[in-house]
Structure 1
Amino acid sequence: MIQKLLFFCGLLGLDAVSTKDPTAAPPFQTVDIVLDCLYVGDDPKGSPGAFGGSLSKDLALLVLRNVSVRDDGSLGEATDYVVPQENAGSSPRIVFEASALLVSIPHAESLLHTDCNREEVNCEISPYNSQQHGKGLCPASWFIGTLRLSSGISIALLLRGPHCSSAQEKPDAILHPKLRIPVSKKGTVLTTVEFQSSSCNTSLRTRLGGLVILDCQFALAPSSLLSSLEWKRQHRGSGRSLFRYQAGSTGPIAEPKVHVDLAQLLGNGNASLHLQGVSVGDEGTYICLVSTPLHQIQHIIQLQVVEPPRVRVIPAHVSFERDVTTTLTCNIAGYYPLDVSVSWTQKTAEDEAEITLSSARFSSHQRSQDGTYGITSYLSISSATVQAPATYSCHVSHVALEEPISVRAYLKASEKTRLEGLVGGILATVIFVVVLFIVLRMKRTVKPKAEELLRGSE
């Protein structure tokens, strides 16, 4: 089998061969995936810590060999990956070569294209010390690789390293200066992926009352068998087991709202937890524990319950009475979690933009039986400070909202006020007409008298 590595992102843009059937499933191709990692292990020379020693961190490289990925025609030509020679003056990296022939690597396409997709990968490799070890195996010859992608994907790889007996059988075997286990002629640690587990969501948000699926997948080498699966939930210092399946038992033990499909669990390693009728009390940290007789891998998923607020302003339409103070009420209810932001704005015909008001009053938070919260905001307005028409808006921001909710109340002059204004306008018009009539009549009376005076003078 040819081992290949994709070196350049530009190769991803190559078009597929036009003669291929566009409806056919893409074929598989084997490639090498190379990831920059940190090796985190105990430092015997370090100062004593909580567990009797400090941790050391060394630069490492994880080379996943023979990874099968779908080729849609964009992979192009790739070359074998060659472990580079370290510079004499630089600190040597610990290179782990991991064969993926026995266990498939999950989310391989995402790992392969991380650089091109500008996705960050956090990779750590640590010694795995299981409670039981097979005969002839060093405790330090098992390693756990943890990969976390910025998109939320989490992958754990259990790597089986070389046997301790190799050094005894071959006195000339080269030992790694730090790990003290045999290495290849290239100075790399040869390992095999024996057990992998993954989750495509390390954190989830869900609404009340719905169904949420907490993803957990795994695959084992043919020599390993599933021993047990357990789902746990932890929240605010307390925890409990939600689901447990033990190989050889009559059936799983599960709480009422949770479900794991046993056929998929035993058939293709789908250990996902289905949680129905989500409530506020279901929020917390969920742990998927997949175990074999010798090893255990866990995944942690943070589940956050969010519910957007319902907002209503009372009254929605206000007839403004003279010399009367009116109170607008903004009811915000049914939201979770607690933090919510409420503000008021005003806009009259004379305002070019909305004006933020700071005179609002608030009630204390109230909690409903379903665990959601509510609060009420009050805004008092008076004819002494504002003239109708005007618009008042209650703006509410919450983590469950993509953008704030704005609910408006419209202020208009009352019928009495408008009638008084109409009567006042009519009276003003009548008075104007009367005054104009009197002025014109006076002018007519004055003009003949002036003409008679002029004749008499002649």
Structure 2
Amino acid sequence: MAGGLVLCGALALCGALALCGALAAEPAPPFRKVDIALDCSYVGEAARGSSSQHPATLVLRDISIRNDGNLGDEAEYKAPQENPDFSSPIVFEASAPSISVPHTESLLHADCGGEEVSCEISPYSFRKAGGRPCRPSWFMATLQLSSGISIALVLRGPHCISQKEEKEHNATLHPKLGIPMSKEGTVLTTVEFQSSSRNTSLRVRLGSSVTLDCHFALAPSSWFFSLEWRRQHRGSGRSLFQYQVGSTSVEAQPKVHVDVVELLTSGDASLSLEEVSVGDEGTYICLLSTSLHQAQHIIQLQVAEPPRVHVIPAVVTFERGVTTTLTCNVAGYYPLDVSVSWTQKTPKGEVEISLSNTRFSSHRQSRDGTYSISSYLSISSATVQAPATYSCHVSHMALAEPISVSARLKAPEQTGSEGLVGTFIATVIFIVVLFIVLGRRAAKPNSEQLLKASE
């Protein structure tokens, strides 16, 4: 995580009008020098070739940051102690006088944005001084942000010194690293080479174009030597692009491109990949080499194509005693994992009812590598009341939300002999009712005449 040198949103909640007015009266400079402190782990060598971890802090000194008004008053790092012991965290102070450190604003505001930063520092090379093995004076700092940014910094530490030089210069060696440290108990380093990528993982659709980001910068003491892009997938590797300074040719596979002019002038080593197919999925490695250093960035490229969903037939009219099968065709998706389910809803029902009486076909793969599957739902007029709606729901990683496609079940229609029988019965009932009514009306006058005769 980023150190607490900056007050998150200190001026974002500017409620005091006097303060806001003062800031408006005296505009802040567009850039400001700050220190960025990051909690890290130092991974070194232990006995018998094993590795050991030790708490560490990486301090990026005097980083120029755009002053957006959210920077706190405290922007300078102060070492916690002057005489560290063997158990104290190793503090690496890194200045970058000749090259710029990338994505520093993201590192600075990581705490405010709720972003996680992982930092690991390890020995990069070993030298000898005075005939004895010397502890490493070069280090590699690897930073990973949860947003996908990766940064690699090659740090040049203090020169190794012999025992004689140690006594002559009254140097104080770091108790853990055995190299000269500052009066504040820190290890002073400079950034000699940096490389970065904005994306550690990318997800693209079939047929699209994508750029795999990779940039670098190096100090004047070294020069760029070569660039190679490799792809690894399912245990096999393949070189996609190779370029070496001084070479008259570029080795590149079809569909890939690196702008060599931008590579040499601005340090843009990004790889462009056109018309992405399923076969392009895998792990891409940007391998940068200079006269002194080497660094790499790994980018996971995943192909994700959403499914197309159709339900047939879309409208169903039942005949009594007939079972109808609805088919939900799911096609053109990648990768393989897909979820298909059915529900039923009637006009009187408040919620959809999940159905389990379904069948599935086997997965089918087309030439472009995508998959398809069919799901079947059998419905019978003996057990189902119409009208009703049957929906096929499909979930897939390439979908922001599931797809739902419905079929409508219409109420049974009276046709053929059933319709004639119904009409005949209705006619008979009408005639009987008519005779009864007419009989009652005829009987009423007769009863009145008999009543008068009796009087």
AA aligned to 2:368 is: D
SS in structure 1 at match of 2:440: helix
Question: Matched residues in 1 for 2:387 and 2:237: separation?
Answer: 57
Question: Matched residues in 2 for 1:266 and 1:325: separation?
Answer: 71
Matched-pair contact (CA < 8 Å) for 1:66–1:101 = no
Matched-pair contact (CA < 8 Å) for 1:127–1:142 = yes
Matched-pair contact (CA < 8 Å) for 2:200–2:298 = yes
Cα separation, partners in 2 of 1:89 and 1:228, compared to 1, 3 Å: closer
SS in structure 1 at match of 2:147: coil
Q: 1:64 aligns with which of 27, 36, 60?
A: 60
AA aligned to 2:110 is: T
Q: 1:439 aligns with which of 436, 445, 452?
A: 436
Partner residue in 2 for 1:41: 44
Question: Matched residues in 2 for 1:187 and 1:160: separation?
Answer: 17
Matched-pair contact (CA < 8 Å) for 2:318–2:410 = yes
Superposed CA offset, 1:7-36 (max 9, x none): 3224352669547999xxx83322110001
Question: Matched residues in 2 for 1:187 and 1:89: separation?
Answer: 9
Question: Matched residues in 1 for 2:6 and 2:86: separation?
Answer: 23
Question: Matched residues in 2 for 1:141 and 1:303: separation?
Answer: 36
Cα separation, partners in 2 of 1:84 and 1:7, compared to 1, 3 Å: farther
- Pairing 1:251–2:254 present: no
Question: Which range moves more in the overlay, 343-352 or 31-40?
Answer: 343-352
Matched-pair contact (CA < 8 Å) for 2:135–2:178 = no
Please list, as runs of the form range in 1=range in 2, the aligned pairs for 1:214-293 lying within 5 A after superposition: 214-293=212-291
Superposed CA offset, 1:79-130 (max 9, x none): 4321123899994111001112122110010111111111111111111137
Cα separation, partners in 2 of 1:134 and 1:173, compared to 1, 3 Å: closer
Matched-pair contact (CA < 8 Å) for 1:145–1:158 = yes
- Pairing 1:120–2:119 present: no
Per the TM alignment, residue 387 of structure 1 is displaced from its structure 2 partner at its CA by 2.8
Question: Which range moves more in the overlay, 168-177 or 436-445?
Answer: 436-445
Matched-pair contact (CA < 8 Å) for 2:94–2:189 = yes
Question: Matched residues in 2 for 1:98 and 1:306: separation?
Answer: 41
Question: Matched residues in 1 for 2:448 and 2:71: separation?
Answer: 113
Matched-pair contact (CA < 8 Å) for 1:167–1:173 = no
SS in structure 1 at match of 2:207: coil
- Pairing 1:84–2:80 present: yes
Partner residue in 1 for 2:206: 208
Superposed CA offset, 1:410-453 (max 9, x none): 12246x52687876765565444333333334434555665677
Per the TM alignment, residue 154 of structure 1 is displaced from its structure 2 partner at its CA by 0.6
Question: Which range moves more in the overlay, 7-16 or 370-379?
Answer: 7-16
Cα separation, partners in 2 of 1:174 and 1:167, compared to 1, 3 Å: farther
Matched-pair contact (CA < 8 Å) for 1:312–1:407 = yes
Uncovered stretches (5+) of structure 1, i.e. residues with no partner: 45-51
Cα separation, partners in 2 of 1:339 and 1:425, compared to 1, 3 Å: same
Matched-pair contact (CA < 8 Å) for 1:142–1:160 = yes
Question: Which range moves more in the overlay, 308-317 or 163-172?
Answer: 163-172
Question: Matched residues in 1 for 2:385 and 2:86: separation?
Answer: 76
Matched-pair contact (CA < 8 Å) for 1:159–1:191 = yes
Question: Matched residues in 2 for 1:422 and 1:351: separation?
Answer: 30
Question: Matched residues in 2 for 1:375 and 1:142: separation?
Answer: 56
Per the TM alignment, residue 207 of structure 1 is displaced from its structure 2 partner at its CA by 0.5
Cα separation, partners in 2 of 1:282 and 1:74, compared to 1, 3 Å: same
SS in structure 2 at match of 1:140: strand
Question: Matched residues in 2 for 1:370 and 1:225: separation?
Answer: 43
Partner residue in 2 for 1:9: 8
Partner residue in 2 for 1:294: 292
TM-score by length of 2: 0.89
Identity over aligned pairs, percent: 64
Matched-pair contact (CA < 8 Å) for 1:195–1:220 = yes
Cα separation, partners in 2 of 1:33 and 1:244, compared to 1, 3 Å: same
Partner residue in 1 for 2:17: none
Question: Matched residues in 2 for 1:59 and 1:97: separation?
Answer: 15
AA aligned to 2:298 is: I
Matched-pair contact (CA < 8 Å) for 1:86–1:92 = no
Cα separation, partners in 2 of 1:422 and 1:168, compared to 1, 3 Å: farther
AA aligned to 2:80 is: P
Matched-pair contact (CA < 8 Å) for 1:232–1:239 = yes
Question: Matched residues in 2 for 1:226 and 1:134: separation?
Answer: 26
Partner residue in 2 for 1:170: 166
Q: 1:183 aligns with which of 181, 184, 192?
A: 181
Q: 1:396 aligns with which of 385, 394, 403?
A: 394
Uncovered stretches (5+) of structure 2, i.e. residues with no partner: 15-19
AA aligned to 2:175 is: P
